[in-house]
Each structure stands twice: as structure tokens, then as C-alpha cells.
Structure 1
């Protein structure tokens, strides 16, 4: 992942070129005075996670840039779909935003099949809040030695017997492990859990051999010797673990799969309003205080690529749709 933060960019996609349906004069006057009341950022997950942390930091910065309070509202449920649907159906006036990543914008549609909203068509992205590396953890109790080669050797020796855990069927941790198994040519057993804590507990005890999880969650356990981090699921190594190779570096080219977090608005939000929000977000994410918070939480900028934000999101949708299809994942 790039060390240069990706600035939020707005392309000419149709989502941001929608013409307001209200009387043109009134609509233009409202846009010119935007914002003139408090705004909200919906986080479709419980408080305390990295999405929530970055959303709250961005909201604080946006309050200063926009001159209006920006309030974070947690609306968890159904893997992020409850809060996301609420924003999709909110008035497209710029006052309601959504902080979310690939769980909704890449995985939800192919995983659930039928939703009451369309993650692809119902939102426009204002820009990136940041990203966080997922890491591969192995269990010292489940393997003869806690290394990546030992895991591959054991799984090849006993096809369909070595187990990996995840935080749920169709979760980012599940699909990342499936990408690894596919790249390595392995047949492993998936054991889904309801969240990361019980999966980590069984990894520590040796009930399962491998798990992908967030770096911030895994690092203290690695440092305590309870688990071993053997690879970083990004293109580059993690600053916190300079001696641990990235999985791309280790020979798994499809394992550059950071958990990214973006800020979205309903698709029909008028272009001037969306541009105002996008510019303010760019200023916030470039602030040293924001970057310092990212470093403290093992978060990092997201490398969008030279072809821009729309192309990045299209690649993410394609990647995770294929991962869901090939894994046969179903919602818990």
C-alpha cells in the first residue's frame, strides 16, 4: 500500500451528475448555502472498531472545515446492511454520509443476492478514510512450527483436514483465507465463528491452524507469543512488523487485500454538494493530526491507483464477487 494518502476524487460518473428534482432556483440556493445545519456520518457497525474510529476522526475534522457539527451515528446489523440501506434511502442532499468498506461495497451484493438497496448503484464515493492490513496468524499449538511454510506443508500433506477460522461466512477474513488457499493450491476446512474473539480463542488453543485478522487485534497476541503473524495481506510490509514478509512478497500475488474505508453519499447527491464534501475530506485526511491517529491505530493510506477512484471501486467489486462465487460463501 502506498505511503502517500489518496486524495478523495470525484469523477464524472452519473451518480454525481444527477440534476435535483426540486425547483431549480430553490435547489441552487440550497446548494450555495450548503451546509447550513448539522450533518451525520452513519457507521453501519458497532462503536469501537477501526471504521468507527476513522469516521469519528474524519467527522471532527469535517466539522471544522464545514462550519457545522458532523455527528457519527452507529447503526449496526446484518453485516453492515442495516445502516447502509438507511443511507441509500436518505435524502440525497449531502447531510447524510456513510463510512464503510468492502464488506458492503464489494461483498454484500454477491453474498446476499437480494438486498433492499444496491451497493453498486445507490452511492457515490467522496474519498478514502484509510485502510488497515489484515494479517495471517498461525497457531503454535496446531502446527509443528508456527511458520507459513509449515502451514502450507501441513495442508498439502492432509488435504481437507487442516482448518482455518474466520469471523463469519462471507466475511473479509473468510474470503481472504479462501484467496490464499486458492493461490497456494490448498484444500482447507473453513470454520466460521460469530466474530473475531471466539475465532482467536480457538486459534490460540490450537483448535484451528490459521486465521486472518486485523493487525491491531493480532499484534498484542503475536507479541505475547500466543499466536504468530507470518504474513501481511498487503503489497508492502507493515511498519510494526518489518521482519514479517507481505504475502505478495512471499509469492501470493492476489493477497494485496487491505480492509479499506471510504466515505459515501447517496448517488443522487448534487455535484456541487458532493464536491464540497469531497474537498473538505481531502483537507481533513491530509492533516497531520489525522495521519497521526492513523499511525497510532496501525491504519494507513489507501493506494487508489493512477486510473482513479471509480476504477479502484470497480476492481474491488469484481475481486470480491469472484471470491464469493468461488468460495461458495453464504450468509451466516
Structure 2
């Protein structure tokens, strides 16, 4: 999966040194040690999803690293914007953080147009939690030969007729399907659902032909032979599906689009505090126990290659803004 985990950073200790003058001026008081009280980690989605699962594992590790409780606060609503806005407007002191991914940091601004906060300007990245692959599924009932070549042949033979599902208009699954259709040069009909479960249900029954969804929720239908996973929307193949090609290797260069997750702080948070949080988070996400949890959830470390985290996030904003504009997606 192409997104390179940041190298292990040394723990940065900071504090305000007493400053004296040659005239014997009284020393300034030392700044309080950070953190000196509990930290709140906001997840702007309901409990139980992959963002929530990784955030809770990270919170447990951060509490050990920082010596203070880290409490996960689920504040769902408006596609992640309710909780994200709350963090954007929180005091920039390191005690309120946000766990989120491209739904907010790439898609929300171009999708909603007007927000009460700016996802691009109101946050500073602390670090990445990991990523989970999205996969392309084809309904066995809708397409008797549920393969990628058969799907492409049917879509080209019947332009504008085949229907694909998503978990909502403007969602990551919707826009990934639009990127796929653009790369393939086909036209299909978008059928948005309120979340993944009803979309998966209609895929299994043959009401729609294809769906992009997270690997963990797609696997039961694949294993039950109700639908087939025919491609993985990452650069490399996945360990859970070694025989399924990545869509990049299958000839779809835009389809390296895993769902990544990161931790962010309000933009004006002091640099030393962000550095302290970043160093602690790196210790957590590189630990054996955290890596084991990711493997159990079909998630992987995020790899940035030669890019910085800031460069990666900038590229994500451009990618999803282009996808929203070209698809004409509207908030669901």
C-alpha cells in the first residue's frame, strides 16, 4: 500500500528555560509540562468502525507514552464534519485531537462548499494511524461471470445501464468508483445508500452490479460466494487476497486510493506540543501490539515513500477535489 510510515523520531523534551539578564533580572517561570491532564481524541464517526478501532488502540498506547489518560470521544454527524468542526474550534493546546481520514481531510471541503471550519487550514497533522484497502466487488447474481474483464465488457456493451452502489453520495466508495469508471472509460449509474450494509445487501441480491467497499466488510460476501472481489484499490496486492490483483497492476493508475487514518491537532497548537504528540504516536504505531491489531483488521501501516506527511496530505486534497468536481457529487 503506497502512502511511507514516518521514520521513528526521537522523543522531544521541551520546557521554558529560566532567562536571566546580566542585570540580575528575575528568571521567567518554567512552562508547565505537557501533558498535565487528560487528552480528548475526537472520532467524528459512530463507534465500531475502523477509524474508531484504530483511534482507541492509539489512545491506549498514547496514554502509556504520555502518562495521562487519552479519552476517545465519538461525535458523529454530517459526514464527519460535526466532530471535526469541534476540534477545529477547540483551544490549540494539545488537549483536543482529531482522528480522521480523507472523508474530512480530502473530500468535505469540495463536496460541501461552505463549512463552518476549513479542513485545509484549521489543522496540523500529528501522524498517521494506518490504512485499509478498498476493494472492487462484483455481484454474482447480476453478472454470472463475476470477473474484472466481464464487468468491463458488460459496462462497455451497455453504456449508462449498469448500476454501482456506494455508501453515500460523495463518500470515498462513491468517488473511488467514479475514478474507476473514468480510468476504464465506461459510464455507469450511481445508486447511493445510507451506509455500507444496505449497499452490500443489494449487491448480494443482484440489484446492483458492483461496489467499492472496505476489505473487512467485503470479505464475508466474497467468502460466501455471493459476490467476488476482483480488484484491490491499492498499488500492491493484499495479504488477505494474494490471488486478487491490485487495480494499479490491472491497468488503472488512479486506483491507489486506500482509506487512511490520521491524528490532527488544531492549527495553532505550539510546535513543541505537536512534536511531543508526534513522537509518542510514532512509538505507538510502530509497536508490535499495534501492528498486530492492524493485521487483524486487514489494515496496514501508511507508507509515504520520499514524500513528507504534508506533501501526502496536499496530494490527497487535490485528488479528491478533482474527483468531486468531475463526478458532480452532491452531499448525501
Above 0.5 in TM-score? yes
- How many angstroms apart in 1 are the aligned matches of 2:328 and 2:7? 35
Structure 1 runs of 4+ off > 6 angstroms? none
| C-alpha displacement of 1:3 | 9.8
- How many angstroms apart in 2 are the aligned matches of 1:58 and 1:7? 17
Aligned equivalent of 1:133: 133
Evaluate the alpha carbon distance shift between residue 63 and residue 133 of structure 1 in structure 2; reply closer, same or farther with a 3 A threshold: same
- How many angstroms apart in 1 are the aligned matches of 2:82 and 2:282? 27
Evaluate the alpha carbon distance shift between residue 174 and residue 8 of structure 1 in structure 2; reply closer, same or farther with a 3 A threshold: farther
Cα deviations across residues 121-173 of structure 1 (Å, max 9, x unaligned)?
00000110000000000001111300011110000001000010000000000
After superposition, residues 75-224 of structure 1 pair within 5 angstroms as 75-224=75-224
- How many angstroms apart in 2 are the aligned matches of 1:146 and 1:154? 11
| Structure 2 unaligned regions, length at least 5 | 10-27
Aligned equivalent of 1:21: none
After superposition, residues 64-75 of structure 1 pair within 5 angstroms as 64-75=64-75
CA RMSD of aligned residues (A): 1.5
| Structure 1 unaligned regions, length at least 5 | 10-24
Aligned equivalent of 1:29: 31
- Judge conservation of contact 1:3–1:300 (CA < 8 Å) in 2: no
| C-alpha displacement of 1:5 | 3.5
Question: 1:314 aligns to what SS in structure 2?
Answer: helix
Aligned equivalent of 2:239: 239
- Judge conservation of contact 2:8–2:283 (CA < 8 Å) in 1: no
- Judge conservation of contact 2:37–2:68 (CA < 8 Å) in 1: yes
- Judge conservation of contact 1:39–1:69 (CA < 8 Å) in 2: yes
Question: 2:324 aligns to what SS in structure 1?
Answer: helix
- Judge conservation of contact 1:8–1:126 (CA < 8 Å) in 2: no
| C-alpha displacement of 1:220 | 1.5
- How many angstroms apart in 1 are the aligned matches of 2:3 and 2:119? 28
- Judge conservation of contact 1:133–1:234 (CA < 8 Å) in 2: yes
Higher alpha-carbon Rg: 2
- How many angstroms apart in 2 are the aligned matches of 1:265 and 1:305? 24
Question: 2:135 aligns to what SS in structure 1?
Answer: strand
- Judge conservation of contact 1:45–1:74 (CA < 8 Å) in 2: yes
- How many angstroms apart in 2 are the aligned matches of 1:158 and 1:6? 46
Aligned equivalent of 1:48: 48
The alignment of Structure 1 onto Structure 2 pairs a total of residues equal to: 315
- How many angstroms apart in 1 are the aligned matches of 2:307 and 2:230? 32
| C-alpha displacement of 1:302 | 1.0
- How many angstroms apart in 2 are the aligned matches of 1:128 and 1:307? 13
- How many angstroms apart in 2 are the aligned matches of 1:110 and 1:212? 21
| C-alpha displacement of 1:304 | 1.5
Aligned equivalent of 1:262: 262
Cα deviations across residues 218-276 of structure 1 (Å, max 9, x unaligned)?
11210111110000000000100000000001000000000000000000000110100
Question: 1:29 aligns to what SS in structure 2?
Answer: coil
| C-alpha displacement of 1:7 | 4.3
- Judge conservation of contact 2:166–2:191 (CA < 8 Å) in 1: yes
Cα deviations across residues 73-102 of structure 1 (Å, max 9, x unaligned)?
000000000000000000000000000000
Question: 2:142 aligns to what SS in structure 1?
Answer: coil
TM-score under structure 2 length normalisation = 0.93
Aligned equivalent of 2:16: none
TM-score under structure 1 length normalisation = 0.93
